[in-house]
Structure 1
Amino acid sequence: MDTPLATGHVVGHLAGNYRPLPVTLAGGEGAWVRDVEGREYLDLLAGYSALNFGHRHPVLIAEAHAQLDRLTLTSRAFDHDLLLPFAERLARLVGLRDDDLVLPMNTGAEAVETAIKAARKWGYDVRGVAPDAATIVVADGNFHGRTTTIVSFSTDDDARRGFGPYTPGFRVVPYGDAEALRAAIDETTVAVLLEPVQGEAGVIVPPADYLPAARAACTEADVLLVADEIQSGLGRTGTTLACDLVGVVPDLVLLGKALGGGIVPVSAVVGRRDVLEVLTPGTHGSTFGGNPLACAVALAVVGLLETGEHQARAAELGRHLAARLDALVAEGRLVAARTVGLWAGVDLDVVHGSGRALSERLLARRVLVKDTHGQTVRIAPPLTITRDELDWGLDRLVDALH
């Protein structure tokens, strides 16, 4: 099934920074997509959670169409009529504190960069950290994006190697080890930046007491807890935020992917007013951040989540997904399966080949998933998938593991 495009090398005028599966998609609706030859596939990846509401959700498409006829971009030189409503409703949905602020950006990596800048400036202006001495504690196995600053604290050699010199100011500790996290905090520390569930690493779920312990350590040291919920947030884990599963309230939450409804890139930093207020005019910005089209779609996304229906659906279907995957582990067909909400990482024995090989076998069975880190495959269906559709895909997973 290999094609030149699947090798990751340059094809035609397209730079080869990805190695996609050998399928070319041309359409989609709900949990299904079709290729240029009309074959249909069940999408169990959902754009790494960017398509939490499936392909071309009618509510989201309608709002996008309506906004296209009104206004698409103003830049932040001017306000527009959806910007404040978007900020207010997103803050209420996330529900951390009554007076939280929202800073809209475009991509997930931009949200992470924004949080890093805000945390550092807060550390200097409010905490009194010595100039240029601020440090941020992060976890190994992290994935927060691929900008120059972010890859500086990545432990993924593919993402990091060859892109130095690296940005200083980060301390890497083992993920899930609360004592190591606490020990890394000192008088220079301004923030701890964590994924509540590590998605790119293979849906790694930390011990239940890890995030509460991180919250306690940050509170005691007057350090910001920054939760990167770009993949885990907005319903994926069966709750609005993954932090909600353990009752942790971060100081800043980073959102993206699903916030754009699979239509436009939208991200945001949501959190403490006293922290985000340190970013004043001229210190940070984005021409496209919070543009009218993005706000129209994101407001519709917020509307879908305000009912709680999609969170409850992810929790219910997630229990079914976990039961089926756990059965495959018990039968010896999988080495391990980690499931949280409608999100799973499954580890393969080498007898079944690599994660890439399994992804290709599933592609031949008209199911789309994607491998990560060799022997692991991620499963992240749209939250709108039906139980019958999910079972259809899982039945083909069983067949592909024979």
Structure 2
Amino acid sequence: MSLSPGAPEFADSHLIELLDGFGLAVKYVRAEGDTLYHDDGAGGEIGVLDLASGFGSLILGHHNPEIVAHAKQLLDEQVPVHAQFSGYSFGIDVAAALNRILRRELGTEEKFYGLFGNSGAEAVEIAIKHAEMDRGMKVAELLDGIEANLATAAEAVAGGAAPSAAALAALGVDTFDALAEEVRRRNAVTAARQPLFLALEGGFHGKLVSSIQLTYNADFRTPFKALAAQARFVPADRVDLAAKIVEEERVALLDVEVRAGAVELVERDFPVFAAFFAEPIMGEAGIKPLTADTARKLREVCDAVGVPLVADEIQSGMGRSGSFLASVHSGLRPDYVVLAKSLGGGIVKTGVVLVRESRYRKEFELLHTSTFGKDGFSSRVALKVLEMLEADDGAAYRRAAERGARARSAIEAVVAEFPDVLLEVRGQGLMLGVQFHDQSGSADELFREWSEHHVFAFALAGYLLHEKRIRIFSTASNPNTLRFEPSIFITDEQIDAFAAALRDVAQVVRDQDSAKLAR
């Protein structure tokens, strides 16, 4: 069997080398449903069960016939792809459809505004930008209020009032004019501070300039820390610690009030933080759903700090969890919802941020635009995807829940059989993760080496691909967890095939037979 890696000299060579080392550098030539086909080197094809599924992008499978037919029809009809600044776009229809769904899922009558981009990471960037614009406008409102108060104080001083001795001493000045100048100077310094964001430890929100700052994995984030506003990370099981973090970063603006004929200094809390980002199911952390307690505390923290709660549903949304939004399982009540991946039906690139009307800044849409953000083609494909998911009173969501339960039961049986090898299975619906025990203390030298370099799962994946014709990968920040994210059309036979393959590879690990994996 030949697995051709293609032309690595023209690709990401280091990644290709890593994949090739574990037999994962494969040239796939065709895809259908939950199956990818690679060249067998003799003019034929070999099919493999694809459980990576575009890392959650294929809720309806590869090349879903209904979506493909719709896309072909759009192209045959020569529908406008680009008609910017016409006053209308099909993105408006997508936003309207998503509004109906979100209002139902979140139990609210409030309207959501849609802001479109080309991918999940770009949608996160849009959310970051909108949150920062909102914060900046709040800062401007605070500074305008302080200017008005300084003007009022100046009138009072002209009429015989005077700064208090405490106010003058606090700023090291001896006149009201000097006091006002120092207030403005200090406030200008404070207002120039970079914003901060809150995010959960283990979270993943993309790898673009700003979104990477919210991604917890230091290997991804650290090389680019100097490029954008930073995040403070909060343990998912100790969200109450956010209050301590907020207090550590607390900064105040100076203001004045006239009381009983004296001008007094007062402090106004400066909005340091712009938003709190959280995944309802933490994908790259190892497929870990938020608990109801965590969701409640997230809402409480955001309300106390006055920042929007952003639900990153890029991987967990679009029905994968058994409901359109994974947020509903924990009762998470976000102000922003970020969607992408399966929104494009597996064939187009699109992402969107939905912002509650009470949080939305209409000025934003004049400052942020994107050539392909809501083009006519991707928008109408997204509309078709939403139509299919919502058909028959949400039959797709029920199927995701049922298929997920069937898969979980099969995986749990293997976990019960190999408790010394497999730690647990986690997740919701068709977003599941099965975690292997750490092998860094293994008696097998190669097992230890793979574990130390965080590539043990690559060895497992290579074995499963070659020996069992199953394609699966680990989660980025929890390298001992394999992700199970197929389409809703996965069959009993395919689920059982994965369970059998998992049982086989667990036996290899139990036997500490690295040679079998390595070859």
Q: What TM-score do you get using the length of structure 2 for normalisation? A: 0.72
Do the aligned partners of 2:201 and 2:236 also contact (CA within 8 Å) in 1?
Answer: yes
Q: Equivalent residue for 2:210?
A: 149
Say which SS state the counterpart of residue 49 (structure 2) adopts: strand
Q: Are positions 1:358 and 2:358 aligned together?
A: no
Change in 2 beyond 3 A, CA 1:2/1:201: farther
1:76 Cα shift? Answer: 2.9
Do the aligned partners of 1:80 and 1:292 also contact (CA within 8 Å) in 2?
Answer: no
Change in 2 beyond 3 A, CA 1:148/1:82: closer
Q: Equivalent residue for 2:405?
A: 319
1:265 Cα shift? Answer: 0.7
How big is each residue's C-alpha offset from its partner over 1:257-276, in whole Å with a ceiling of 9 and x where there is no partner? 00001101110001212433
From 380, 384, 389, the counterpart of 1:300: 384
Q: Equivalent residue for 1:113?
A: 125
Change in 2 beyond 3 A, CA 1:281/1:55: closer
Alignment of 1:230-309 (within 5 A): 230-307=314-391, 308-309=394-395
Q: Equivalent residue for 2:483?
A: 378
Greater Rg, structure 1 or structure 2?
A: 2
Q: Equivalent residue for 1:39?
A: 46
Write the letter of the residue equivalent to 1:347.
Answer: Q
Write the letter of the residue equivalent to 2:208.
Answer: T
Write the letter of the residue equivalent to 1:325.
Answer: I
Q: Equivalent residue for 2:513?
A: none
Q: Are positions 1:191 and 2:188 aligned together?
A: no
Say which SS state the counterpart of residue 232 (structure 2) adopts: strand
Q: In 2, Cα distance between the equivalents of 1:88 and 1:401?
A: 47
Q: Equivalent residue for 1:67?
A: 74
Say which SS state the counterpart of residue 39 (structure 1) adopts: strand
Q: Equivalent residue for 1:338?
A: 426
Worse overlay, 341-350 or 18-27: 18-27
- Structure with bigger helix share is 2
Change in 2 beyond 3 A, CA 1:315/1:283: same
Q: In 1, Cα distance between the equivalents of 2:192 and 2:15?
A: 36
Say which SS state the counterpart of residue 281 (structure 2) adopts: coil
Q: Are positions 1:391 and 2:496 aligned together?
A: yes
Q: In 1, Cα distance between the equivalents of 2:219 and 2:381?
A: 34
Q: Equivalent residue for 1:88?
A: 96
Q: Equivalent residue for 1:16?
A: 13
Q: In 2, Cα distance between the equivalents of 1:338 and 1:280?
A: 39
Q: In 2, Cα distance between the equivalents of 1:4 and 1:321?
A: 31
Stretches of structure 1 that go unaligned for 5 or more consecutive residues are: none
Write the letter of the residue equivalent to 1:52.
Answer: I
Worse overlay, 118-127 or 25-34: 118-127
Q: Equivalent residue for 2:470?
A: 367
Q: In 1, Cα distance between the equivalents of 2:354 and 2:302?
A: 18
How big is each residue's C-alpha offset from its partner over 1:173-201, in whole Å with a ceiling of 9 and x where there is no partner? 22232211343346422311111111112
Change in 2 beyond 3 A, CA 1:390/1:215: same
Change in 2 beyond 3 A, CA 1:79/1:255: same
Q: Equivalent residue for 2:515?
A: none
Do the aligned partners of 1:4 and 1:11 also contact (CA within 8 Å) in 2?
Answer: no
Change in 2 beyond 3 A, CA 1:116/1:358: same
1:11 Cα shift? Answer: 2.0
Q: In 2, Cα distance between the equivalents of 1:304 and 1:397?
A: 32
Superposed structure 1 runs of 4+ greater than 6 Å apart: 1-4
Write the letter of the residue equivalent to 1:91.
Answer: N
Q: In 2, Cα distance between the equivalents of 1:75 and 1:175?
A: 43
Stretches of structure 2 that go unaligned for 5 or more consecutive residues are: 143-189, 251-270, 448-455, 508-519
Say which SS state the counterpart of residue 244 (structure 2) adopts: helix
Worse overlay, 244-253 or 215-224: 215-224
Q: In 1, Cα distance between the equivalents of 2:296 and 2:114?
A: 24
Q: In 1, Cα distance between the equivalents of 2:80 and 2:8?
A: 33
Do the aligned partners of 2:400 and 2:429 also contact (CA within 8 Å) in 1?
Answer: yes
Do the aligned partners of 2:60 and 2:489 also contact (CA within 8 Å) in 1?
Answer: yes
Say which SS state the counterpart of residue 370 (structure 1) adopts: coil
Q: In 2, Cα distance between the equivalents of 1:337 and 1:2?
A: 33
Do the aligned partners of 2:281 and 2:427 also contact (CA within 8 Å) in 1?
Answer: no
Do the aligned partners of 1:76 and 1:289 also contact (CA within 8 Å) in 2?
Answer: no
Change in 2 beyond 3 A, CA 1:165/1:2: farther
Say which SS state the counterpart of residue 8 (structure 2) adopts: coil
Q: In 1, Cα distance between the equivalents of 2:2 and 2:276?
A: 42
How big is each residue's C-alpha offset from its partner over 1:332-374, in whole Å with a ceiling of 9 and x where there is no partner? 2412221211121122232695211111111011111012343
Change in 2 beyond 3 A, CA 1:388/1:152: same
1:169 Cα shift? Answer: 4.1
Do the aligned partners of 2:390 and 2:396 also contact (CA within 8 Å) in 1?
Answer: no
Q: In 1, Cα distance between the equivalents of 2:67 and 2:3?
A: 34
Do the aligned partners of 1:181 and 1:214 also contact (CA within 8 Å) in 2?
Answer: no
Do the aligned partners of 1:75 and 1:287 also contact (CA within 8 Å) in 2?
Answer: no
1:81 Cα shift? Answer: 5.5
